[in-house]
Protein backbone atom coordinates (compact mmCIF):
# COMPACT_ATOMS: atom_id res chain seq x y z
CA UNK A 1 0.00 0.00 0.00
CA UNK A 2 1.20 3.48 -0.88
CA UNK A 3 2.67 5.71 1.76
CA UNK A 4 0.30 8.65 2.04
CA UNK A 5 3.30 10.97 2.15
CA UNK A 6 3.89 10.62 -1.61
CA UNK A 7 0.28 11.53 -2.32
CA UNK A 8 0.40 14.55 -0.01
CA UNK A 9 3.71 15.69 -1.52
CA UNK A 10 2.38 15.47 -5.09
CA UNK A 11 -0.85 17.16 -4.11
CA UNK A 12 1.00 20.00 -2.39
CA UNK A 13 3.52 20.44 -5.23
CA UNK A 14 0.98 19.96 -8.05
CA UNK A 15 1.23 23.51 -9.43
CA UNK A 16 5.03 23.40 -9.39
CA UNK A 17 4.94 20.09 -11.27
CA UNK A 18 2.58 21.54 -13.89
CA UNK A 19 4.62 24.71 -14.46
CA UNK A 20 7.88 22.78 -14.64
CA UNK A 21 6.44 20.28 -17.12
CA UNK A 22 5.04 23.02 -19.38
CA UNK A 23 8.40 24.77 -19.35
CA UNK A 24 10.27 21.56 -20.24
CA UNK A 25 7.89 20.72 -23.06
CA UNK A 26 8.06 24.20 -24.58
CA UNK A 27 11.85 24.19 -24.47
CA UNK A 28 12.33 20.77 -26.06
CA UNK A 29 13.90 21.28 -29.48
CA UNK A 30 12.07 19.99 -32.57
CA UNK A 31 8.99 19.00 -30.61
CA UNK A 32 5.34 19.34 -31.52
CA UNK A 33 4.80 20.52 -27.95
CA UNK A 34 6.59 23.76 -28.86
CA UNK A 35 3.80 24.36 -31.41
CA UNK A 36 1.02 23.99 -28.82
CA UNK A 37 -0.13 27.27 -27.30
CA UNK A 38 0.73 27.78 -23.64
CA UNK A 39 -2.87 27.68 -22.39
CA UNK A 40 -3.57 24.35 -24.08
CA UNK A 41 -0.26 22.93 -22.90
CA UNK A 42 -0.96 24.03 -19.32
CA UNK A 43 -4.36 22.34 -19.49
CA UNK A 44 -2.78 19.12 -20.77
CA UNK A 45 -0.10 19.20 -18.08
CA UNK A 46 -2.72 19.90 -15.39
CA UNK A 47 -4.82 16.92 -16.50
CA UNK A 48 -1.74 14.67 -16.52
CA UNK A 49 -0.57 15.73 -13.06
CA UNK A 50 -4.08 15.61 -11.55
CA UNK A 51 -4.50 12.11 -12.95
CA UNK A 52 -1.23 11.10 -11.28
CA UNK A 53 -2.31 12.63 -7.96
CA UNK A 54 -5.65 10.79 -8.22
CA UNK A 55 -3.81 7.53 -8.85
CA UNK A 56 -1.72 7.96 -5.72
CA UNK A 57 -4.91 8.62 -3.73
CA UNK A 58 -6.47 5.41 -5.06
CA UNK A 59 -3.33 3.47 -4.14
CA UNK A 60 -3.71 4.64 -0.55
CA UNK A 61 -7.25 3.35 -0.23
CA UNK A 62 -6.82 0.10 -2.18
CA UNK A 63 -4.24 -2.14 -3.75
CA UNK A 64 -4.50 -0.22 -7.04
CA UNK A 65 -1.67 0.17 -9.47
CA UNK A 66 -2.08 3.67 -10.81
CA UNK A 67 -5.02 2.82 -13.06
CA UNK A 68 -6.44 6.39 -13.47
CA UNK A 69 -3.03 7.59 -14.62
CA UNK A 70 -2.57 4.65 -16.99
CA UNK A 71 -6.04 5.16 -18.48
CA UNK A 72 -5.32 8.87 -18.90
CA UNK A 73 -2.00 8.18 -20.64
CA UNK A 74 -3.68 5.68 -22.98
CA UNK A 75 -6.30 8.32 -23.86
CA UNK A 76 -3.76 11.04 -24.52
CA UNK A 77 -1.68 8.60 -26.57
CA UNK A 78 -4.65 8.11 -28.90
CA UNK A 79 -5.12 11.89 -29.12
CA UNK A 80 -1.44 12.63 -29.72
CA UNK A 81 -1.18 9.95 -32.41
CA UNK A 82 -4.07 11.64 -34.21
CA UNK A 83 -2.22 14.97 -33.85
CA UNK A 84 0.98 13.48 -35.32
CA UNK A 85 3.05 13.31 -32.13
CA UNK A 86 5.82 10.73 -32.03
CA UNK A 87 6.10 8.19 -29.23
CA UNK A 88 9.28 9.76 -27.90
CA UNK A 89 7.55 13.12 -27.43
CA UNK A 90 5.02 11.65 -25.00
CA UNK A 91 7.67 9.51 -23.34
CA UNK A 92 9.68 12.70 -22.85
CA UNK A 93 6.76 14.31 -21.01
CA UNK A 94 6.38 11.29 -18.72
CA UNK A 95 10.13 11.10 -18.09
CA UNK A 96 10.26 14.80 -17.20
CA UNK A 97 7.34 14.34 -14.82
CA UNK A 98 9.14 11.42 -13.17
CA UNK A 99 12.38 13.42 -12.99
CA UNK A 100 10.66 16.27 -11.17
CA UNK A 101 8.99 13.87 -8.73
CA UNK A 102 12.41 12.40 -7.95
CA UNK A 103 13.72 15.91 -7.26
CA UNK A 104 10.78 16.65 -4.98
CA UNK A 105 11.08 13.40 -3.05
CA UNK A 106 14.84 13.71 -2.55
CA UNK A 107 14.43 17.34 -1.46
CA UNK A 108 11.44 16.97 0.87
CA UNK A 109 11.80 13.47 2.29
CA UNK A 110 14.15 11.86 4.77
CA UNK A 111 16.51 9.30 3.22
CA UNK A 112 14.67 6.39 4.87
CA UNK A 113 11.40 7.45 3.14
CA UNK A 114 12.90 8.15 -0.28
CA UNK A 115 13.38 4.64 -1.63
CA UNK A 116 9.79 3.61 -1.02
CA UNK A 117 8.30 6.80 -2.45
CA UNK A 118 10.61 6.85 -5.46
CA UNK A 119 9.85 3.23 -6.29
CA UNK A 120 6.11 3.89 -6.04
CA UNK A 121 6.30 6.92 -8.32
CA UNK A 122 8.40 4.96 -10.79
CA UNK A 123 5.94 2.05 -10.66
CA UNK A 124 3.00 4.26 -11.64
CA UNK A 125 4.82 6.15 -14.38
CA UNK A 126 6.56 3.01 -15.64
CA UNK A 127 3.23 1.25 -15.99
CA UNK A 128 1.88 4.23 -17.92
CA UNK A 129 4.93 4.18 -20.23
CA UNK A 130 4.33 0.46 -20.91
CA UNK A 131 0.72 1.15 -21.84
CA UNK A 132 1.76 4.12 -23.96
CA UNK A 133 4.11 1.89 -25.96
CA UNK A 134 1.34 -0.69 -26.43
CA UNK A 135 -0.99 1.96 -27.87
CA UNK A 136 1.69 3.06 -30.34
CA UNK A 137 2.45 -0.55 -31.29
CA UNK A 138 -1.24 -1.23 -31.87
CA UNK A 139 -1.44 1.75 -34.21
CA UNK A 140 1.76 0.70 -35.96
CA UNK A 141 0.45 -2.83 -36.51
CA UNK A 142 -2.80 -1.40 -37.90
CA UNK A 143 -0.86 0.82 -40.29
CA UNK A 144 1.25 -2.11 -41.52
CA UNK A 145 -1.86 -4.25 -41.98
CA UNK A 146 -3.67 -1.51 -43.90
CA UNK A 147 -0.64 -0.88 -46.11
CA UNK A 148 -0.32 -4.59 -46.88
CA UNK A 149 -4.01 -4.83 -47.72
CA UNK A 150 -3.77 -1.82 -50.05
CA UNK A 151 -0.65 -3.22 -51.69
CA UNK A 152 -2.43 -6.52 -52.30
CA UNK A 153 -5.29 -4.64 -53.91
CA UNK A 154 -3.08 -2.30 -55.98
CA UNK A 155 -3.86 -4.14 -59.19
CA UNK A 156 -7.59 -3.88 -58.58
CA UNK A 157 -7.25 -0.20 -57.69
CA UNK A 158 -5.12 0.50 -60.77
CA UNK A 159 -7.70 -1.01 -63.16
CA UNK A 160 -10.20 1.64 -62.21
CA UNK A 161 -13.79 1.17 -63.25
CA UNK A 162 -15.21 -0.37 -66.37
CA UNK A 163 -17.80 1.85 -67.94
CA UNK A 164 -18.78 3.14 -71.32
CA UNK A 165 -17.45 6.53 -72.34
CA UNK A 166 -19.69 9.46 -71.58
CA UNK A 167 -21.02 11.00 -74.75
CA UNK A 168 -22.36 14.51 -74.71
CA UNK A 169 -24.91 14.57 -77.51
CA UNK A 170 -24.83 18.39 -77.63
CA UNK A 171 -21.09 18.43 -78.29
CA UNK A 172 -20.36 18.25 -82.06
CA UNK A 173 -16.95 16.63 -81.53
In tens, the pLDDT along 136-156 reads 899 888 878 877 777 777 666
Give tens-digit pLDDT for 43-99: 999 999 999 998 888 765 555 556 889 999 999 999 998 888 888 989 999 999 999
Please give the domain boundaries of the chain with CATH numbers for all domains: 4-155 (1.10.490.10)
Burial classification of residue 74, based on how many CB atoms lie within 10 Å of its CB (0-12 exposed, 13-18 middle, 19 or more buried): middle
CA 26 to chain centre: 16
Answer yes or no: pTM beyond 0.85.
no
The distance of Cα 80 from the centroid of its chain, to the nearest Å, equals: 7
Q: Are 17 and 101 contacting, i.e. CB atoms less than 8 angstroms apart?
A: yes
2 pLDDT tier (thresholds 50, 70, 90): very low
Amino acid sequence: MLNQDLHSLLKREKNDLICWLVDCLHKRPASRYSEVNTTALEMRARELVESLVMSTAKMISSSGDGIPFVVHVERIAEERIAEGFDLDEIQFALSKLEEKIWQLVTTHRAPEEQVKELSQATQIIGSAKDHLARVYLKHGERAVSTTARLNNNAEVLARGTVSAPIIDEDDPL
